[in-house]
Amino acid sequence: MKATVWTGRNSVEVQDVPDPAMLNARDAIVRVTSTAICGSDLHLVDGYIPTVKKGDILGHEFMGEVVEVGPGVRNLRPGDRVVVPFPIACGACFACEAELYSLCENSNPNAGMAEKLMGHSPAGIFGYSHMLGGFPGGQAEYVRVPFADVGPIKIEDDLPDEKVLFLSDIFPTGFMAAEMCAIRPGQTIAIWGAGPVGQLAAASAFLLGADRVIVIDRFPYRLKRAQRTGAEVLDYEEVNVLDALRDMTGGRGPDACIEAVGMEAHHPTPAMYAYDRSKQAARLETERPYALREAIMACRNGGVVSVVGVYGGFVDKFPMGTVMNRSLTIRAGQCHVQRYMRPLLDRIRSGEIDPSFVISHRMPLSEAPRGFELFKHKQDECNKVVLTP
Amino acid sequence: MMTDRFARALGWTSLALGTAQLAAPRAVTRLCGVDDAPGAATITRLVGGRELLHAALLLGGKTPARWTWTRMAGDAMDLGLLGRAAANRVGGRRRRALCALGAVAGIAALDAACAGGRARRARSPLQVRASITINKPRAEVYRFWRDLENLPTFMTHLESVRTLGEGRSRWRAKGPVIDLEWEAEIIDERAGDLIAWRSVPGKGVSNAGLVSFTDGPGGRGTVVDVSLEYGMRGRKLAAAVARMVGEHPEQQVRDDLRRFKQVMETGEVVRSEGSPEGHRALRQLHQHPAQPIGARA
């Protein structure tokens, strides 16, 4: 079969690879009908996530048709249409029982590796390094889905792929980002990053009752898309974000700040940017946490900082004094997708929201390298690429 | 631990000596009675550099005691130099050189004591401990473990366990070259609580172990706690297995327990294409510690 394969830093290719085979009783094989390139895939391509190997299949947002199920899967049959959540979860452990699916205690066979970096291991993730399980990703014609009786959600009506595909990651991720803010009426939410997750977080914040949403980015076309959700926008290359947010919120600051940027953030001041960039190059830190630092500084006293941007390891110059002295709450996490799939599918079905508004490019899987190129370098107003195998 | 703290102290000594030799070489040569020799200051500076290297190794490393041999090599060199200096000198210089010789000999004795401590520790039994919480009732978890023939399903290095009756069992493990075998007997057993065993003397690799089962707090499943001890010959097994699977014995036991948890909670060992054989030990070779890939050029 064909699949998008990591072939080295800043290099992806579509290659012929062996078809997946069943390995466990609760596996299913899914023929992928739609898959997408995620912003967090860029951290892999750029070589910032440890333990990616040449030949690894990328992709963790995908859906398709079940073609084979193992003897342990009773709720799916060949022919079923499913969306597959990106974290792999067993459904039986302490974490899964607490609906903390991205922390499943059983789904990462390489947990020992992750422990060494993070203290304890999170769940396995499709196409996201060996430290997170070494599972091949979904930018392929076929995927083996472990614990297929727990994760995938059946799509039983004729909703098109594009409307439901993002249930696999970015829609629940954006939604969880907003949910972690514990929004109450009258509140203002600021969101760093107007990428697809930031845009869906803005839409979700309104769904959850936010009064105002302010989205921060530097690409006008992404800000324009964020505006479509009803959000106000700030271009951080044009204004001082801290001053602007203070002015917009009567001097108090946003009630909650969503960080949807992650480890490869940018800073408008060259000296500031160079500081973390060079520390990253010398491996003295793994992140460039400008958005995170700014979100913490901007948040109102006693507010919430909700982090869904992907971080890989260690952050330098973390304003802990601000967090402590101003009673901020930091909430973070890879999305517990399984928890949100059913309720969000219902919202899509009822017409409350159509997450396909983030799509800017559609192309066949064979053109994935071009898709990565466009998305990474923000060319051609690229916002979200959907691939069809 | 004590040995490491001792080695760390020796590292500070190296740092002080090296700094003095680099910062004030002439004062040092005078103190050692060799200020009359041509090039003495240069040699002192070189020795100072070497001392800083010892200091870096002893103070920077996680296990400083293993670096004490670098200091012993340095001591031998210094003793040689000072011995020659003392032999060729008279009067005050000779006295000072002999004092320096005595001081270096004293330090050498400390270094030797430290290195010896480390060697003794290496000969003592190897102890490993790990625990895990399993989301299943205690009786069920205990029952699975008590059927010793189940153990190879999640213990990577075990080939098979055959029960022989009367609490005895025959264990086979895959070694890097030859298979290792031993016979074990259960020496204590409280149903649902604990199982203790040890290898039968003279019948292969010597090891002993204790696994206990307790209720997790607040009804949170079962806590399984494993302690293992390898005797001299068992140490070799542990080292061989460690070499084969590329990880520390402690990590091995933790990974075994994690697979045990998978079997109890999900019914089987979870496998990914990155480790398709699941519990096959050789595949675990690829389990190296996670490190960031170098930043972009």
Contacts of B287 in chain A (CB under 8 A): 110, 112-113
Q: How far apart are CA B153 and CA A76, in angstroms?
A: 28
> What pLDDT sits at residue A168?
98
Q: How far apart are CA B104 and CA B106, in angstroms?
A: 5
Q: Is A26 close to B293, i.e. CB distance below 8 A?
A: no
Q: How far apart are CA B252 and CA A112, in angstroms?
A: 9
Q: Is B290 close to A116, i.e. CB distance below 8 A?
A: yes
8 Å CB contact between B228 and B127? yes
Contacts of A134 in chain B (CB under 8 A): 272-275
Task: Decide: residue A307, CB within 10 A, 0-12 exposed, 13-18 middle, 19+ buried.
Answer: buried
Q: Is A134 close to B267, i.e. CB distance below 8 A?
A: no
Alpha helices, DSSP H, located in A14-152:
39-45, 94-97, 111-118
Picking from B220, B272, B287, the nearest residue to A112 by CB comes out as B287
Q: Is A112 close to B247, i.e. CB distance below 8 A?
A: yes
* Long-range Cβ contacts of B57-62 (<8 Å, 24+ apart): B57/B11, B58/B7, B58/B8, B58/B10, B58/B11, B58/B14, B59/B8, B59/B11, B59/B12, B59/B15
Give the residue from B95, B87, B79, B121 showing the smallest Cα distance to B33: B95
Picking from A23, A51, A134, the nearest residue to B290 by CB comes out as A51
Give the residue from B117, B125, B10, B92 showing the smallest Cα distance to B59: B10
Q: A389: which 2 tokens? A: 């195998």
The one-letter code for the residue type at A180 is: M
Q: What is the DSSP letter of B216?
A: P
Q: How far apart are CA A45 and CA B42, in angstroms?
A: 52
Task: Decide: residue B207, CB within 10 A, 0-12 exposed, 13-18 middle, 19+ buried.
Answer: buried
Question: Going by C-beta distance under 8 Å and a sequence separation of 6 or more, which residues neighbour residue A288?
Answer: A263, A264, A265, A266, A267, A273, A276, A277, A280
Question: Going by C-beta distance under 8 Å and a sequence separation of 6 or more, which residues neighbour residue A255?
Answer: A181, A183, A184, A187, A188, A189, A300, A303, A304
Q: How far apart are CA A78 and CA A86, in angstroms?
A: 21
CA distance A193 to chain B (A): 23
Q: Is A281 close to B295, i.e. CB distance below 8 A?
A: yes
CA distance B43 to chain A (A): 35
The one-letter code for the residue type at A296 is: I
Picking from A46, A124, A313, the nearest residue to B272 by CB comes out as A124
Q: How far apart are CA B228 and CA B210, in angstroms?
A: 7
CA distance A278 to chain B (A): 9
Nearest CA in chain B to A8: B293
8 Å CB contact between A224 and A265? no
Which of B259, B266, B277 would best serve as a mutation to test chain A binding (most A beta carbons within 10 A)? B266
**Structural domains of chain A, ranges and CATH numbers in brackets:** 2-169+335-388 (3.90.180.10), 171-332 (3.40.50.720)
Q: A311: which 2 tokens? A: 């971080």
Q: Is B296 close to A46, i.e. CB distance below 8 A?
A: yes
CA distance A382 to chain B (A): 23
Q: B45: which 2 tokens? A: 């500076």
8 Å CB contact between B3 and B121? yes
Nearest CA in chain B to A279: B295
3-state class of A385 per DSSP?
strand
Q: What is the DSSP letter of A51?
A: T
Q: What is the pLDDT along chain A (389 residues), one digit of tens a residue?
A: 999 999 999 999 999 999 999 999 999 999 999 999 999 999 999 888 888 889 999 999 999 999 999 999 999 999 999 999 999 999 999 999 999 999 999 999 999 888 888 999 999 999 999 999 999 999 999 999 999 999 999 999 899 999 999 999 999 999 999 999 999 999 999 999 999 999 999 999 999 999 999 999 999 999 999 999 999 999 999 999 999 999 999 999 999 999 999 999 999 999 999 999 888 888 788 889 999 999 999 999 999 999 999 998 889 899 999 999 999 999 999 999 999 999 999 999 999 999 999 999 999 999 999 999 999 999 999 999 999 99
Contacts of B135 in chain A (CB under 8 A): 92-94, 97
Q: Is A47 close to B267, i.e. CB distance below 8 A?
A: no
Q: Is B290 close to A283, i.e. CB distance below 8 A?
A: no
Contacts of B254 in chain A (CB under 8 A): 112, 115
Nearest CA in chain A to B265: A92
CA distance A58 to chain B (A): 13
Picking from A26, A50, A109, the nearest residue to B272 by CB comes out as A109
Q: Give the strands of the sheet with A329-332, arranged side by side.
A: A232-235, A212-217, A188-192, A256-259, A304-307, A329-332
- Cα Rg of chain A, angstroms: 20
Nearest CA in chain A to B290: A113
8 Å CB contact between A267 and A249? no
Question: Going by C-beta distance under 8 Å and a sequence separation of 6 or more, which residues neighbour residue A97?
Answer: B135
Contacts of A51 in chain B (CB under 8 A): 290
Q: Under an 8 Å CB criterion, which residues of B touch A?
A: 133, 135, 220-221, 247, 251, 254-255, 258, 261-262, 265-276, 278, 286-296
Give the residue from B2, B226, B265 showing the smallest Cα distance to B137: B265
CA distance A93 to chain B (A): 6
3-state class of B134 per DSSP?
strand
Size of interface A-B (CB pairs under 8 A): 115
Nearest CA in chain A to B260: A106
Contacts of A106 in chain B (CB under 8 A): 261-262, 265-266, 270
* pLDDT lower than 50: segments of chain B: 277, 279, 288-297
Query: C-alpha distances in angstroms, B113 versus A201, B67, B283?
Result: 64, 13, 41
Picking from B247, B262, B276, the nearest residue to A106 by CB comes out as B262
- Count other C-beta atoms under 10 Å from residue A129's C-beta: 25
Place of tokens 């209720």: B215
A61 Cα distance to chain centroid: 9
Q: How far apart are CA B279 and CA A143, in angstroms?
A: 22
Contacts of A52 in chain B (CB under 8 A): 293
ipTM (interface pTM): 0.91
CA distance A302 to chain B (A): 32
Contacts of A9 in chain B (CB under 8 A): 293, 296
Place of tokens 């003279």: B202
Give the residue from B29, B42, B105 showing the smallest Cα distance to B72: B105
A39 Cα distance to chain centroid: 7
Q: Is A48 close to B292, i.e. CB distance below 8 A?
A: yes
